Amino acid sequence: MTKQLEKGQSIQIRVDRMAHGGEGIGKAEDGRIVFVRGAAPGDTVTATLTKVKKSMAFAEVASVVEAGEYRTESSCPAADAGAGCCDFSFVVPEKEPELKASVLRDQLGRVAKLEEIPAIHVVDLLPHRHWRTRVRLGVDSQGRAGLRKKGSHELVTDEVCTQLVDGLVDGIVGEGARRFTPGSEVIVVLDSQDKRHVVESRKASRGRRVETITQVIEGSGTVVETADDIDFSFPATAFWQAHGAAPDEYAEIVRRMLAGTVRAGQPPVGWDLYGGVGLFVPALAESLEDAARAVNRGESAPTKVISVDYSPAATAAEQPGLSAYDVEVITNKVEKVADQLIAPTAVVLDPPRTGAGKEVISTVAAAGPARIVHIGCDPATFARDVAYWGAHGYEVNDLVMVNAFPGTSHFETLARLVPAS
């Protein structure tokens, strides 16, 4: 007789595949699916059940009985101490992209309901360790800064994550580190000029759009990042890609995906939705201009780019490096203004982790762009959005998975969508 599963119970289980969220998936003796944190496909582990439901259960690895091909020694002391940073610290770095591509494929099949999934082109960003140029830290009641434990307000203050570039948190985390205001957050950035910026901040209150820098401790608090041969300047609290190699890689992929894009009967217009500081403005403008010039037998075809973002903390309007481009910047929510914009030739949208959603996708699709580049950092919401695109007559014909967060279960996906044939 199969023993009833209970919270706190130890079970032995073999993991067969990877789930979205970084857990391994296996089956218990009673047939229930078990999501095992800290396990990879091929591992046989002893796991402790942390939650038991009718059709599934959740567990954490207690010990490894037999390691699979994806498993290696943990690379991150902070994760070993419980920090929620490197949930793939035990995965062979070179095999990470394979696992992540399998998760993306699964989400596109189950959530987007794609019968035919395009080939996934994989880009593995290097380095795999010491790649993160910016980090957000919590501060405990004693003023010590550190990473939060997964699903907790507790901090790991004595160990440094191996994602961080060398020197990023010297004197900030660990023995002998300075103290900060209890309850605040500390943001540390090493920018493209090799200048370190350390600021204390307070999260935005309900109804406000921007968190407040309460104290600049080191540097100016205004970072300079170079990408696609353009210098961008913005507050340390504003969004920018964490992996030093990511911005240039994304811009290059966007250029390739938009090459040759034209829309008959109108000058080229690009929408840069959730555009932030304008990282994709050059790629969008130049790709459309080049395509229009080719069609017009060499005549110039200036491109207008409309960049929309809700956060005034990081806006293309403040970037001198974009002065060569015809950019109209709108500081508003995308869903509030998209139906008022000039019809686009192409659209690039890089929504937050929650995705673009049905309303935005419906509005963009109704505008009839010839090509869309949709960027997503969460495979589940990305797949949901792909389903919405399909319902509005667009299909994926190019798909790139970028391993932009090595040592973690996270990754970035870029898809080119075109009107369905």
Question: How distant, in Å, are the alpha carbons of 13, 222, 324, 370, 385 from that of 116?
Answer: 32, 46, 41, 22, 16
The binding site comprises 241, 274, 299, 350
Q: How far is CA 272 from CA 113, 249, 340, 374, in A?
A: 27, 17, 14, 11
C-alpha dihedral (116, 117, 119, 120), degrees to nearest 10: 180
- Burial (CB count <10 Å: 0-12, 13-18, 19+), residue 156: buried
Nearest-10 crossing angle of helices 246-258, 281-295? 20
Which segments of 220-260 are extended strands (E)? Answer: 222-227, 230-235
Compute φ and ψ for 115, nearest 5 degrees.
-75, -35
Alpha-carbon distance of 415 to 56, in angstroms, equals 32
Active site annotation includes 377:
yes
In sign, the C-alpha dihedral spanning 414, 116, 382, 418 is: positive
* Binding-site residue set for S-adenosyl-L-methionine: 241, 274, 299, 350
User: Helix 379-391 vs helix 357-367: angle between axes, to the nearest 10 degrees?
Assistant: 40
Q: Would you give the DSSP letter of residue 239? A: -
Backbone region of residue 357 per phi and psi (left: phi > 0; alpha: psi in -120 to 50; beta: other values): left
| HSE-CB of 266 using CA atoms within 13 angstroms | 16
**Contact between 310 and 352 (Cβ < 8 Å):** no
Q: Give Cα 250 distance to the centre of its chain.
A: 12
Q: In this structure, which amino acid lies at residue 292?
A: A
The tokens describing 176, both together, are 């002998």
Q: What residues are labeled active site?
A: 377
